[in-house]
A and B are shown apart, each in its own frame.
Chain A
Amino acid sequence: MIEVIGLEKSYAGFPALKNISFTVPEGEVTGFLGPNGAGKTTTLRILSGFMPATQGTVRIDGLDVRERSRDVRRRVGYLPEDVPLYRDLTVEAFLAYLAGLKEVPRPRIQAEIERVVALTGLESVAKRLIAKISRGYRQRTGLAMAMLGDPPVLLLDEPTSGLDPNQVVEVRDLIRQLSGHKTVLLSSHILSEVAQITNRVLIINEGRLVASGTPRDLAGGMHLERRVRLRVRQGLSAEVWNEFPGIRALDPGDGSFALLLMENPERDLPLLARRVVSAGLDLLELHEEVSDLETIFRTATGAGDA
């Protein structure tokens, strides 16, 4: 479990983080979203024990990061942004070195390396020099490093950066699998990625936490209109929804499909369904889409009107 209370960080008097508080419950994968320079990396660096906060409290599994720094570092697997690696080592030698530093018992090191190499799909490059492998493999080496010693908490700073689309999918699947038995805080500026991997997001902007919750909670809290997909066999027209003041068309479609915006789907969805059926149309789909993260993000970070 990660608890952050009133976290502040200043660089030479310039405030980079302003009174940030949040909790990541045990076993949950949480997304940490924000534009570049919002303070995501600074927050993760404080959580990982790399640098101290100017003010505030951070506890990992109940241990204060400042007072029990080494104990916290034993419990945290950290993937820094732009993964720094020793290019003169092979992937295996690098992982062996870090496993030693992470206090993995010597007889277990080889098995531990094999475990993380298999998890991150590094088998084909395990014996190659880090300098000679692609950026994607380097990113995966960083991820393998973070998982060494099987820490209960993972802090991942932009874990899919530099990966090709196939690798992105693999890493996302891997992180999704961690849900339930690892506490993961994952930073990203790619909204769709966070939406696919996590079910809860924290949004940070200019050093402040501006929103937190599931995308559905956030959309509700921001009173955003929600999207509804309507599909019938044929004969769909605006008359079907025009009588409802809380519904308007985002895309009126081609007679068989429409994308609608609803102020209150709980109230209007059943009414719309009845109206479609009473109009004699064959209803194929009536589905509420959770308001997309991009809208939430833009609204939360004040870029919504741009």
Chain B
Amino acid sequence: MRSVLLVARREFVGYWTTPVAYVVLVVFLMLSGIFFFGQLSEFVAASRAAQNTPVDVNQELVRPYLYSASVMLLFLLPLVSMRLVAEEIRLGTLEILLTSPLRESALSLGKYLASLGLLAVLLCGPLAHVLVLFIFGKPELAPILTGFLGLFLTGAAYLSLGLFISALTQNQIVAATSSFALFISLWLVHWLGENMHGVPARIFTYASFVDHFDSFGKGVLTTQDFIFYLSLIALGVYGATQAILSRRWKT
């Protein structure tokens, strides 16, 4: 465990020594601010139009906002995950890590924890936006918390798969592009599922983020959704560990 935390700390600090973390943070905060402002404006307009009928702030503002945030993460998190292992391969520092007593699993887990740390920092932006709503109104807290949990798990699944892809190449551009393609595929398969019938439809729909993320947004926590996210996370970290192990054989 000590080595996992050592790797995680080194990686997390390492993020802030390159411009990538700052760029991702600034772009995410800027875009999420714009989306929040747009969503809030629509909500205010809808409230005015509804006059005395109350408009559900969770349903009409928070849920679509978190959905937008998950799409932003889809574009930005490949930039966070691309360097995780690829950078070590490119610099040759993987050799010093793999000749220390460090386990391959500790290396991938440590790297993954560091990326989760950066994800947590990123999500502070949307969290601050949503907390502002409590100053002016009384949104329901539970769906907000589950929505953020869903957003965090979606980001965590992206990062885990991105970690795996990063362990397959030493080229960060290749890692980022491939990760983006994979993430977007995991959204688009839902559309494929909708246009199919029977078992393939169920498989494609289940494999997509759409329904699982939506459940969290509605405030519904199901074992099925947790299993989906946790399976993706475990798959990515395990895949990365195996990819690092296989590097020994390829060298």
Q: List A residues at the B interface (Cβ < 8 Å).
A: 45, 48-52, 70, 73-74, 76, 78, 80, 82, 84-86, 88, 97-98, 100-103, 145
By a CB distance below 8 angstroms, the chain A residues around B95 are 45, 50, 80, 84
Decide if the interface of chain B is mainly helix, strand, loop or mixed.
helix
By a CB distance below 8 angstroms, the chain A residues around B101 are 70, 73-74, 101-103
Q: List B residues at the A interface (Cβ < 8 Å).
A: 2-3, 6-7, 10, 14, 17-18, 91-93, 95-103, 248-249, 251
By a CB distance below 8 angstroms, the chain A residues around B2 are 100
By a CB distance below 8 angstroms, the chain B residues around A82 are 92
Asked whether, in the complex, the Cβ of A80 is within 8 Å of the Cβ of B92, the reply is yes
Asked whether, in the complex, the Cβ of A73 is within 8 Å of the Cβ of B93, the reply is no
Asked whether, in the complex, the Cβ of A50 is within 8 Å of the Cβ of B98, the reply is yes
Shortest distance between the CB of A103 and any CB in chain B (Å) = 6
A101 touches which of B3, B14, B18, B248 (Cβ 8 Å): B3
B17 touches which of A49, A85, A88 (Cβ 8 Å): A88
Given the interface pairs A51-B249, A51-B251, the reply to whether A86 lies near B93 with Cβ below 8 Å is yes
- A45–B95 Cα distance when bound, in Å, is 9
Shortest distance between the CB of B215 and any CB in chain A (Å) = 41
Asked whether, in the complex, the Cβ of B98 is within 8 Å of the Cβ of A101, the reply is no
Given the interface pairs A85-B93, A86-B93, the reply to whether A78 lies near B103 with Cβ below 8 Å is no
Asked whether, in the complex, the Cβ of B99 is within 8 Å of the Cβ of A145, the reply is no
Known pairs A84-B93, A98-B96, A101-B101 / 14 extra A-B pairs, C-beta < 8 Å: A45-B251, A48-B99, A49-B99, A50-B99, A51-B248, A73-B99, A78-B99, A82-B92, A84-B92, A85-B93, A86-B10, A88-B18, A100-B3, A103-B3
Shortest distance between the CB of A87 and any CB in chain B (Å) = 8
By a CB distance below 8 angstroms, the chain A residues around B96 are 78, 80, 84, 98, 145
Asked whether, in the complex, the Cβ of B100 is within 8 Å of the Cβ of A73, the reply is yes
By a CB distance below 8 angstroms, the chain B residues around A52 are 248-249
- A255–B210 Cα distance when bound, in Å, is 96
